[in-house]
Amino acid sequence: MGRVYLVGAGPGAPDLLTLRAAEILERAEVVFHDALVHPQTLALAAHALKILVGKRSGRLSTAQSFINKRLVDAARKHGVVVRLKGGDPLLFGRAQEEIDALRKAGIDFEIVPGVTAATAAGAELGVSLTRRGLARHVAFVTPRAGRGERENDWAASVLAADTAVIYMGAGLAEAISAELIGRGKPKATPLVLVESATLPERRILRGTLADLPALALKAGSGPAVLLLGEVLRDALADRAVVAIPEIQAHLRRA
C-alpha cells in the first residue's frame, strides 16, 4: 500500500512550487494532475505515469467520484501517488472529497500546501493584502456553487472583510458587481483582476467595482482572481507594476 500526496502546485510559475513538492514529484510513480499545472512542474515527475484529471470550471472534466476511485486504486498498486492541484489544495481545490475517500479506504495520505493565487497576485501588484491601520482581515471567496448546494453567501464575507479575493469569479463579473453594489459596497472600491498570475502571459486589469463587468470582458480565458479593497488603491496607478521575475533564472535549480 502506498501513500497519496495531495500537493499544491502553486499559482502558476513552476518555481513557486515548494521544495517538498518537488522532492515528492521526483519520487512519484503516478501523478494525477489538473489541466492548469505547468509542464515544467510535471516534468519534475520524470519517472511517473501522468494522468490528466483536470477540472476547469465550465469545461468537461473527470467526475470527482471517479478521481477518488482512481486515487485509491493507484495507492493499492504504487508506493508514491501524487494528486497535483493548482494553487493550494485546501483553498477551492475540492481536496476534502479526495481526503474523505482516502480515509474511508484506509489509504495513508499527506497534504503538501502551496502558494495560493491571492498572494501571488498581490506579489505581482506590490500590494500587501493586509496593512496596519487599513486592512486586518481578508476574505477568500468563490461565488460558484454546485447544484443542490446550500446557499452560499459569499457576498456577506466580501462585505465584512477589509480586503477580498474572489476566486473563479471572472465569468460571473456582472452578478458579482451587481450583488456587492446592491448590498452597499461602494462602486468606487478599487478592484484589480489578475489573470494567469506569475506566468509570462499574465494580465493585470485595474479599475473599480463598478468597472468589473467591463474589465472581465477584456480578460482572456486564463485563471483569474479579483482583488478588492482599499489596499488596492495605490495599485490602480501604473507606477505600481512590479518587475516580472526572471522565471528561467529561478528555475536553474529546479
Q: Hey, which residues are catalytic here? A: 34, 55
Distances 147 to 42, 179, 253 between C-alpha atoms, Å: 32, 20, 44
140 makes contact with a second copy (CB under 8 A)? yes
The interface region with a second copy, picked from 19-27, 73-81, 187-195, 216-224 by CB under 8 A, is: 19-27
Cα gap 124→241, rounded to integer Å:
7
Q: Which of 50, 62, 152, 179 binds a second copy (CB under 8 A)?
A: 152
Distance CA 87, CA 8 (A): 5
Choose between 17 and 75: whose C-beta lies nearer to a second copy. Answer: 17
By CB under 8 A, the residues from 162 to 181 that bind a second copy are 162
Smallest distance, Å, CB 214 to a second copy? 25
3-state SS class at 42? helix
Q: Which of residues 227-246 bind a second copy (CB under 8 A)?
A: 231, 239, 242-243, 245
Among 82, 107, 111, 193, binds a second copy (CB under 8 A): 111
Find the shortest distance in angstroms from Cβ 146 to a second copy: 5
72 secondary structure, DSSP code = H
The answer to the question of residue 65 lying near a second copy (CB under 8 A) is no
Indicate the helix (H) or strand (E) that contains 182.
helix 173-182
Phi, psi of 147 (to 5 degrees): -60, 140
